[in-house]
Structure formats: C-alpha cells, structure tokens
Chains A and B, each alone.
Chain A
Amino acid sequence: MGIYFNEVTHEYPSYTKKTYKAIQNISLKIEKENEFIALIGHTGSGKSTLAKHMNALIFPTSGSLDIFGNHITQKRDKKIKYNSIRKNVGLVFQFPEYQLFEETVEKDIMFGPLNFKVPLEEAKKKAKEALSLVGLDESYLKRNPFNLSGGEKKRVSIAGILAIDPDVLVLDEPTSGLDPAGRDTLMELFLDIHNKTKKSIIIITHDMDLVYKYFNRALVLKDGELSFDGTPDDLFRSDVLEHNHLDYPNTIKTLKYLKEELKLDIDIYKKNIDEVIKEISRVTSNE
C-alpha cells in the first residue's frame, strides 16, 4: 500500500493558451513505509502540483492514482472517503498562510485532530506535544498565528499536520525560511519520526546539502515530467543536475575545488562535513 501514480497529467487553466500542463504522464510508486524521499526540480517544474495529488487535494486531468487503496480519477467519487485519505497522507503547504486560519496557535493545531473526532482534551494535549516537537514552547499556544515571524508560522503549520499523525507525511519546502538551527532540528525530527515509525516521508526542497545528507531516494521533476528516480548518490554522480537547472551540494563543490586547485587524488562524493574532513585527512596523511 502507498501512493501510486498511473500516467497522471494535471492541467491548469490559463489566460492565453487554453491550459497549462503542470505535470505530465507521471507514473510513480511511493510505498507507505521505509521511504525518505526528496522531491526536487526547478521552480514551476510541478513539484507542488505533484504533492497536492498525493492526498487527493486535486484530481488528475488524465490518468489515475491509487492512494492507500482508493482509486482516484478525474472526478470526485461519492464512494471514496476523502477525509480518511487526509488521515493517510498529511500535506504541509509551502506557504503557512494558506494553511493557518484560527485565532490562536492552539486552536489551529487542534483543528486537524478535532476533525478526526479526537476528544477536546486529547486534542489539546496533542497540540501541546506537536508544538514542542517543532521547537516552540507552550507560551505560543495562546498567540495569534498571524503575528508570528515567518519561520514560527512555518513551524506551527507543520505542528498542525503532525498532530493528525498521518501514515505518510508530505511537506512542501518545510525548511525554507528557517534558520540553520531550525532547519536541522526539523530535519532531525522528520528523520526521527521516519526511523521510529518507518512512515514514508516526502519532502520538497531546493537544498541539495539536505538531499545528500538525509534522503534515501530522490525524484527530479523537469517541466512536469519525471526526469530522475534513484538514490541521491547516483543523482549527484550523474549529469542530470546540469540539465535540470540544479546545483551540487556544497560538500561536493568544495571538494571539487580542492581537487582541481591542488591536484589532489580525492573522492569528492561526501555527504557531510565529517566525511569531508575524514577524506581530507586521509589524503593529507598519505603525503
């Protein structure tokens, strides 16, 4: 079970041309467990549209999806309980302002659980827990979400979905606009949830350092089509990035510079700082 795309195309209306194809002919299988996927691609490549399909927030123009056994086609089907799909797959939006709407942070986070018939007291407890998971203390509960800073809003919107405890998490650029400490805390949180529960997590990001460091699968979209599906390591060793307006992780770029400038016999494919330092000391100790 999981999220299966079968030749999915999605078109948006447009002023000039009749329609605009955001994604084209996507076939893809994401299993319910054991996947930690980075979804990458240039701006406008269809990442957010693909994400919105994952919990049937929008319907395909052609093709179909199987989301946790629910067959999703072009039209709304009365037999399908869409509400339960939202419990299967939780989606956190790119802009928190699209998602936040309540007067207080607490009410906002409780909204999801209450919708899924969680009793009030328990929903309150869940709100508190979710808030602390994303690194905000209880003093935020009574605050108005719209008076928070950009990064704080982002965290509250993530807490709102964590409180629902969905089977699969889809997050659209959860770390953009966060400071490095906040970004790392959240990535560690997602990884921790994934490791403890095996739940699959799909994250849209432009940060190649994160892609290399954390993920076990990378999907690359180009002009609405899937142009790569494999491990980050294979991705960065290939020439896919150059054809996709993407960049390499800073670890690779830094090591590549050293390799070229100092003519070092060095392996540039290192995922994090510790690996980079190890590789440099390996090379320098040989001298």
Chain B
Amino acid sequence: MSLIEVKDVSFSYIEEKQSLKNINIKINKGDWIAILGHNGSGKSTLAKILVGLLEPKSGTITIDGIELNQETAYDLRKKIGIVFQNPDNQFVGVTVRDDIAFGMENLCVPRKEMLERITYYSNKVGMLKYLDKQPSNLSGGQKQRVAIAGILAMRSEILIFDEATSMLDPFTRNDLIDYIKLLNKEGFTIIMITHDVNEAVLADKILIMNQGQISAFDETRNLLKNKEAFEQCHLELPVALNVASKIENKAIKDKLWEYTLMK
C-alpha cells in the first residue's frame, strides 16, 4: 500500500482557471520525490493540498490508509511537515527557540526532550547561536534555516520542502541536503519542490508538473534521458547532461552521467 495516494484531485482558486487537473500520484514510504515545474504550474498548490491546508474541489488524498478530510486533518498533519517557500508564512514565536518549540508543543513532546531537540536541530541548520534572537531580525536565508529546524524537530515521517533552499547559500544548502539524505536513509519520505535540477537529481523519482497537470513521473535516471520531457516544460537539464547531449566522445559522456548521478 502506498503511504500517500492522490486520486483524481482537481483544484481551482478562481473559477476561470483550474490550478490542478486530475492529479493521480502514489508515493511509497521512504521515497524521495522531487517536483519540478515552471512558476504557476501548481507545485505549491499540490503541497498545500497534501497537508490539508487547501481542500480539493474533487478527488481524494489518502495518507497511511486514512482519507484526508476535516475530521482527520488534525491527526494526519502530525505525519506531515511542510517548510514553506517564504519562511515568514510560518513564524509564530518571539524568539528562534520559541519558534522551533511551537510545533513540538502541539505534539506534546516532553519538555526535556523538547530542549534536547531544539539544541540538536538548531545546530543541524547552523542556527544554535541564534536561539535568543527574534526571527524578524534574521536574514532571509537564516529564516529559512529556522523554519527547517522547526519542522525537522517535529520528526514527521513525511517532509515536504517547498523551495525551502532557494535562499540558502551553497554551503548551507549542501549541508541541509546531506542531512536530508540521511533522513531519507532512515526511512523518512521526502517531497522536494525545487527549481534547481541539481537538487532534483538527488531524488529517486522526479515528477514534472505543467499547467496544473502531471506531465512526467519516473525514476530520476530514466527521466533524465527524456530530454523532451524537460524541454516541453521549459526546464533545464543539469549542466553535465546538457553538455553530454551535445558531444560525441563516449568516455566523456559516460563520465558526465556518472557525475550527475553521483550521490
């Protein structure tokens, strides 16, 4: 049985325009899925529907065998953590510490463990020395890191990152990616919405969205061979594969593929 099953889901913000059309996806426990797609293709809308922040106009979402609806949303949300595109959308605490604690308070995590997790996860994202600062005084990238720590501390088994690394410097981003790899190995299910194809190739599967529909969904290795799937949706291939597609030398081609799929 799939951990997440999205069946015939459609959604629209305004009547004239359907934001999601007939989405069907199955995600297994421990999968790492990257979602690519142009701006306005419905990626964030899909994420919000998965966590029950938006209700689909039609279709169903089933998580761990339970259908997501108003009655089950509260309990199911404990299984799913989401980090938003703009971290300001999720800050509630007066200090960084309060903010990381907030999600855990709702889960009734005992105080001692809560404090341990705050230290552990703020350190993980490199924000340990900022615990007493106000989130509003932090830089954009630092805010993203705090938002990520808050979600990681809840230890939800499904983690959704909605362009959560877009404002991180390369070093912090690589660090976070390494940690996500580790979580995924431990069995956490990862859904990563991104515009960075270099980040997407780390996933087991890539899903491409185009104008509210799924235009491709396949194992990363296979999908990368499908240059048209990328071009159709105005997406780019990683630099190495872009080069590989334009040269003849087989030895170099192979190395470029090896480089791209290195984890």
Which A residues lie at the B interface, using CB under 8 A?
A: 12-16, 20, 41-45, 47-48, 94-95, 97, 147-152, 173, 176-183, 206, 208-209, 245-247, 250-251, 254, 257-258, 261-262, 273, 276-277, 280-281, 284
* Shortest distance from the beta carbon of A254 to any chain B beta carbon, whole Å: 5
Whether, in the assembled complex, B238 has its beta carbon less than 8 Å from a beta carbon of chain A, the answer is: yes
User: Count the B residues whose beta carbon is within 8 Å of the partner chain — how many?
Assistant: 53
Residues A254 and B240 in contact in the complex (CB < 8 Å), given A94-B140, A150-B85, A261-B255: yes
* Shortest distance from the beta carbon of B131 to any chain A beta carbon, whole Å: 9
B window 192-244: CB within 8 A of A: 195, 197-198, 234-236, 238-240, 242-243
Are the CB atoms of A43 and B141 closer together than 8 Å? yes
Name the contact of A180 in the complex, choosing from B141, B170, B195 (C-beta under 8 A): B195
Are the CB atoms of B139 and A48 closer together than 8 Å? yes
Which B residues lie at the A interface, using CB under 8 A?
A: 13-14, 37-40, 44, 85-86, 88, 95, 132-134, 137-142, 144-145, 163, 166-174, 195, 197-198, 234-236, 238-240, 242-243, 246-249, 251-252, 255-256, 258-259
Q: List 28 A-B pairs, Cβ < 8 Å.
A: A20-B133, A42-B172, A43-B140, A43-B141, A45-B169, A48-B139, A97-B86, A149-B39, A149-B44, A150-B39, A150-B44, A177-B163, A181-B234, A206-B169, A206-B173, A245-B170, A246-B170, A247-B170, A247-B171, A257-B255, A257-B259, A258-B252, A258-B256, A258-B259, A261-B255, A273-B242, A277-B243, A277-B247
A209 to B239, CA, bound (A): 10
Are the CB atoms of A44 and B88 closer together than 8 Å? no
Residues A177 and B195 in contact in the complex (CB < 8 Å), given A44-B139, A262-B252: yes
Are the CB atoms of A245 and B239 closer together than 8 Å? no
A261 to B166, CA, bound (A): 31
Q: Which residue of A lies closest to B85 (CB)?
A: A150
Which residues of chain A come closer than 8 Å to B235, judged between CB atoms? 179-181
Are the CB atoms of A95 and B132 closer together than 8 Å? no
A251 to B167, CA, bound (A): 21
Are the CB atoms of B88 and A176 closer together than 8 Å? no
* Shortest distance from the beta carbon of A245 to any chain B beta carbon, whole Å: 3
Which residues of chain B come closer than 8 Å to A12, judged between CB atoms? 137
Which residues of chain A come closer than 8 Å to B197, judged between CB atoms? 180
Which residues of chain A come closer than 8 Å to B39, judged between CB atoms? 149-152, 177-179, 182
* Shortest distance from the beta carbon of B89 to any chain A beta carbon, whole Å: 8
Are the CB atoms of A280 and B198 closer together than 8 Å? no
A14 to B242, CA, bound (A): 47
A41 to B171, CA, bound (A): 10
A273 to B246, CA, bound (A): 10
Q: Which residue of B lies closest to A16 (CB)?
A: B132
Are the CB atoms of B243 and A273 closer together than 8 Å? yes
Q: Which residue of B lies closest to A22 (CB)?
A: B139
Q: Which residue of B lies closest to A42 (CB)?
A: B169
A150-B44, A183-B195 given. 6 additional CB < 8 A pairs? A20-B137, A44-B141, A177-B39, A178-B195, A179-B235, A180-B236
